Chains A and B, each alone.
Chain A
Amino acid sequence: MTDTKIKIENLSFFYGKKQAINDFSLDIPKNRIMSVFGPAKSGITTLLRSLNRLYELIPDTRAEGRILIDNEDIHAPSVSLTQLRRRVGMVFDVPTPLPMSIFDNMAYGPRLSGIKRRSELEGIVEQSLKMAALWEDVCDRLDTPAASLSGGQQQRLCMARVLALKPEVILLDRPCSGLDPISTAKIEESLQELKKQFTIVIAPHNIQQGGRISDRAVFMLSGNLIEEGTAEEIFANPTDKRTADYITGRFG
């Protein structure tokens, strides 16, 4: 068992009076891929957004319980929200390229964090694009608009943009929705490399993807943790009937 990177303790989450996550506890190991899956409205996106406090952009929301990253409570007053979101990057289901060139998309975060030297930025851009398996596709056209890339390339650009900030944790919320099988396979393949350096928490876009890429997986239903275990345990021998029914397509 590797070290725990993220420890979630008794997390409950509320949108106004509506509770979306109920007393949820989970250890997320370092340098592994943890899949969080379940039917719609199970609280999966909310859970992911809790890990870098992205929900704070939404009014009238409230989290109870503790989330520790490297034993530090992310809700502690001393934690800088900007720093937290640098440490815990997020890729969304729909690619969100900024209306600028590929290079500027990539350099946007590093520039904001104070890096100005062109050579340093170029180094970060190249390294991050390589990690996201996009460098070979775009190295000769970095000054073209990011919007000219295919959907799969745009999504890998978004991954690379997160990587450019040198995060510790990467959250991916159904990053392959709407992508063709080749683009999906490229992203899945790069995740296997990325986990060597980062901790990855992903909401897979289907159960099959969860089975292919996860080291561990957790099944959520109506904001509750139903079952957690190794990918082998969850996708081959789940112990809870609800998990079994869901992964075999019998409910959900």
Chain B
Amino acid sequence: MIRSHFDEDLKQLHREIVDMGSFVETAIASAVTALKSYDVERCKEIIESDKKVDEMERKIESQCLWLIARQQPVASDLRQITTALKIITDMERIGDHASDIASLAIRITDRSFFPESEMIFEMAAAAIDMVNSAVMSYVNYDMELAKATEEKDDIVDDYFNKVKHYLADVFSTQPHRMDVAIDYLLVAKYLERIGDHAVNICEWVHFSQTGEHKSTKIF
């Protein structure tokens, strides 16, 4: 029962971060589906929902700062709160990229040119899977899952290189379609960055349990 109120605050913080993680994961999946189906209304909803992600981030930041100011956390409690502050930044960026993809999806009107667009959707599935696993690794403080998720980043990077090479070819052979090719390249770049943010989340999950970040003991 000692410090049970503080423990409850920490659990609440954890729950809110999990909610934020689920929210941004859904946002990317939705953005990719909207791109696939050219659903402008859905795209607008995703762009609008980014405000909610920002609100979630502000709220969690505020909770963390109050906990630090009022509870003077040390050791694992301090690591947990620091982790929270770090990973919500990555989650917020993932939310931004979902919104970015939705904005591009509205703009991409010529989709027939891209016979291998499936490659983008496979890449998206891999990136979404990484976000899902990163959030799950945080849910259970599962370091093995975190590590496995970090390794999946190579798959997303490989997809990005493939898409890039394909589009480079489009640039040289179909210059009249360069605008839309650039938009697709941006989508791929956002997905690649989403993978990087998922890796960041996993690295902070590792830190929360060990005090080590990227193999360096920092706390």
Does B117 interact with chain A (Cβ within 8 Å)?
no
Place the interface of chain A in its size category. 10 to 19
Choose, from B63-71, B91-99, B142-150, the stretch at the interface. Answer: B63-71
Cβ of B1 and Cβ of A211 under 8 Å apart?
A: no
- Cα A232 to Cα B70 in complex, Å, equals 8
Cβ of A186 and Cβ of B2 under 8 Å apart?
A: yes
Chain A residue at smallest Cβ distance from B71: A212
In B1-38, the 8 Å CB interface with A consists of: 1-6
Cβ of B65 and Cβ of A236 under 8 Å apart?
A: yes
- Cα A209 to Cα B4 in complex, Å, equals 15
B70: chain A residues within 8 A (beta carbon): 211-212, 231, 235
In B53-107, the 8 Å CB interface with A consists of: 65-66, 69-72
A189: chain B residues within 8 A (beta carbon): 1-5
- Cα A35 to Cα B206 in complex, Å, equals 39
Main secondary structure of the interface of A (DSSP, over half): helix
Does A208 interact with chain B (Cβ within 8 Å)?
yes
- Cα A198 to Cα B71 in complex, Å, equals 23
A211: chain B residues within 8 A (beta carbon): 69-72
A46: chain B residues within 8 A (beta carbon): none
Does A133 interact with chain B (Cβ within 8 Å)?
yes
A185: chain B residues within 8 A (beta carbon): 2-3
Cβ of A236 and Cβ of B69 under 8 Å apart?
A: yes
Interface residues, chain B, CB within 8 Å of chain A?
1-6, 65-66, 69-72
Instruction: Give me 13 other A-B pairs in contact (C-beta within 8 A), A185-B3, A211-B69, A235-B69 excluded.
Output: A133-B1, A185-B2, A186-B1, A188-B3, A189-B1, A189-B3, A189-B5, A208-B72, A211-B70, A211-B72, A212-B6, A212-B72, A235-B70
